Amino acid sequence: MSPLARFSVNQMTVRQLPLPDLTEACARLGVPGIGLWREPVAAYGLEATAKLVRDAGLTVTTLCRGGFFTTAADLDDNRAAVDEAATLGTDTLVLVSGGLPPAGKDLAAARALIADALSELAPYAAERGIRLAIEPLHPMYAADRCAISTLDQALTLAAPFPASQVGVVVDTYHVWWDDRAPTAVARAGAQGRIHSFQLADWTTPLPAGVLNGRGQLGDGCIDLRAWRELVDTSGYTGPIEVELFNDDLWARDGVEVLEETVRRYVRHVL
Amino acid sequence: MSPLARFSVNQMTVRQLPLPDLTEACARLGVPGIGLWREPVAAYGLEATAKLVRDAGLTVTTLCRGGFFTTAADLDDNRAAVDEAATLGTDTLVLVSGGLPPAGKDLAAARALIADALSELAPYAAERGIRLAIEPLHPMYAADRCAISTLDQALTLAAPFPASQVGVVVDTYHVWWDDRAPTAVARAGAQGRIHSFQLADWTTPLPAGVLNGRGQLGDGCIDLRAWRELVDTSGYTGPIEVELFNDDLWARDGVEVLEETVRRYVRHVL
């Protein structure tokens, strides 16, 4: 089996690369998987993207993202995200659930809104063969992006639904600090609820806004191999997607960054 | 009882104020408590600071800080911090435990180092009438400042010791996002382990380095009154200390900031 058999590159990692350049580089480097984002997909064209990745023989491991249930609560847009996922041929829509409503201060209420929205969206997604993957985001995003901060919370939200409908994203950047995450990973794996496994390293100091500081594999302090082994041990055998938002990486040549990411994956994750 | 009876200002909130100006402003405004930091105390002189606050009739609610057990592991310096706390007349030394050792990736190992150091320091502190207060810091500081990210973890660390020796700091900025924090607060209060209650608000976007973005009371999204009520309900009756690190506040007139902080406390906390 190729060492890259489970590797997937999220397109945000090399967002400077136009989609045709990215798919061509993936084919050349033996990268079998790609994670997509709605905005660049829309810019290139939904059908055109679907054809491009299909012709390149790539597996679309995830589509990012639905969610933001606490602010706009725009279920129509989330249904559209489900439809786009189906068109792109992926089985997994990543959900970033949303933070506090404007001027809101009640995280518990925000979490209740998220649960309500899930109960509407999950059946719609299931009919189209799309699994919803709740992504707990690091607690530093609790106010403005995602009131779901831990795998435990995400699993509690997912529990009312069949595992084939609603699961979680395990992203090392978001959960590495959490002493309860290892047992949550084991539980999620046993339930078949790990719908995506994403990697980024933790580097400091964090940049202003704390959005674009997801570190290249090996540049930070997360024991990525230990996390990969932990997730494997839970029973997960799916793709391992590298998703970096990083101004420094975006300023470089995209193909060079992808090549580096592949090397880092082999060195620090396998 | 004065509405400010439990109010304490941490000197970092108005670090632009020289100590004599701060103590004079406290006396004028009816602020009864002050939290001190070792570095500015040393700069003014330990004995001189002790005399200054004593003459002003101020209660020193905390001294910040000991800790950083995972890097330098400098117990001599921590013993010195205990001695300074005793000289200043406070009963509480705040501990920021330290993050990962240099090039380290093992948070569990870092936490074990912290537990080891505590077992050496706690008896020394107890002999001098000083309580150690373990402060869980927000998970965004787990790598470089504090591997203890939740009240649950801090209480687990404190558990082997009498409550009179080792307790915790409840700081709204660090724990507001945590759905398990309310039950941890109740447990900590029931055990008599809340040794300090600190306030700051959560504002976004976070500044680069994420150190100096602790928001003025009422400027952010934390329901400060609800947290105060929660802590009160747990049985805590001690000081309520406002500790803000904030470049914008530091750029303003210090007395004006202190006056504003008092007004905000009355409006958003009481």
- Interface membership of B205 toward A (CB under 8 Å): yes
Which residue's entry shows tokens 């990012």? Answer: A64
The yes-or-no verdict on residue B80 having pLDDT over 90 is: yes
CA closest to B101 among chain A residues: A221
Q: Beta-strand (E) ranges in chain A?
A: 7-10, 33-37, 59-67, 92-96, 131-134, 166-171, 194-199, 201-202, 214-215, 240-242
In chain B, which among 101-130 make CB contacts under 8 A with chain A?
Answer: 104-108, 111
> Is A100 close to B221, i.e. CB distance below 8 A?
yes
Provide the token pair at B201.
Answer: 């608000």
> Is A207 close to B208, i.e. CB distance below 8 A?
yes
List chain B residues with CB under 8 Å of A268.
Answer: none
The yes-or-no verdict on residue A99 having pLDDT over 90 is: yes
With bands split at pLDDT 50, 70 and 90, how would you rate the model's confidence at B73? low
Cα distances (Å, whole numbers) of residue B257 to B33, B52, B210: 16, 21, 21
Q: What residue spans define the domains of chain B?
A: 7-268
- How large is the average pLDDT for residues B172-200? 98
Pairing between β-strand B166-171 and β-strand B131-134 as defined by DSSP bridges: parallel
Compute the nearest-CA separation of B196 from chain A (Å). Answer: 23
Among the partner residues A139, A177, A210, nearest to B177 by beta-carbon distance: A139
Taking residue B108's Cβ as centre, other Cβ atoms within 10 Å add up to: 9
Which residue's entry shows tokens 């439990």? Answer: B6
- pLDDT tens figures, A112-141: 999 999 999 999 999 999 999 999 999 999
- How large is the average pLDDT for residues A82-99? 97
Compute the nearest-CA separation of B208 from chain A (Å). Answer: 4
In chain B, which among 4-23 make CB contacts under 8 A with chain A?
Answer: none
The yes-or-no verdict on residue A73 having pLDDT over 80 is: no
The pLDDT assigned to B196 comes to 98
- Strand partners for A34: A9, A60
- Could you give the percent of chain A with pLDDT greater than 90? 96
The dihedral region occupied by A60, where left means phi > 0, alpha psi between -120 and 50, and beta the remainder, is: beta
DSSP code of residue B65: E
Mean pLDDT of chain A: 97
- The domain made up of B7-268 has a fold known as TIM Barrel (3.20.20)
Residue B187 CB burial class (10 angstroms; 0-12, 13-18, ≥19): middle
The pLDDT assigned to A72 comes to 67
- How large is the average pLDDT for residues B249-269? 98
The pLDDT assigned to A1 comes to 77
Compute the nearest-CA separation of A25 from chain B (Å). Answer: 32
- How large is the average pLDDT for residues B95-120? 94
- How large is the average pLDDT for residues B162-171? 98
- pLDDT tens figures, A169-227: 999 999 999 999 999 999 999 999 999 999 999 999 999 999 999 999 999 999 999 99
- How large is the average pLDDT for residues B42-53? 98
Compute the nearest-CA separation of A36 from chain B (Å). Answer: 26
Q: Distance between CA atoms of A137 and A150, rounded to whole angstroms?
A: 7
The pLDDT assigned to A102 comes to 87
Q: Distance between CA atoms of A129 and A135, rounded to whole angstroms?
A: 19
- pLDDT tens figures, A214-249: 999 999 999 999 999 999 999 999 999 999 999 999
Mean pLDDT of chain B: 97
The pLDDT assigned to A71 comes to 81
Closest CA to B238 of B104, B118, B66, B61: B61
Q: Distance between CA atoms of B152 and B158, rounded to whole angstroms?
A: 10
The pLDDT assigned to B72 comes to 67
- pLDDT tens figures, B236-248: 999 999 999 999 9
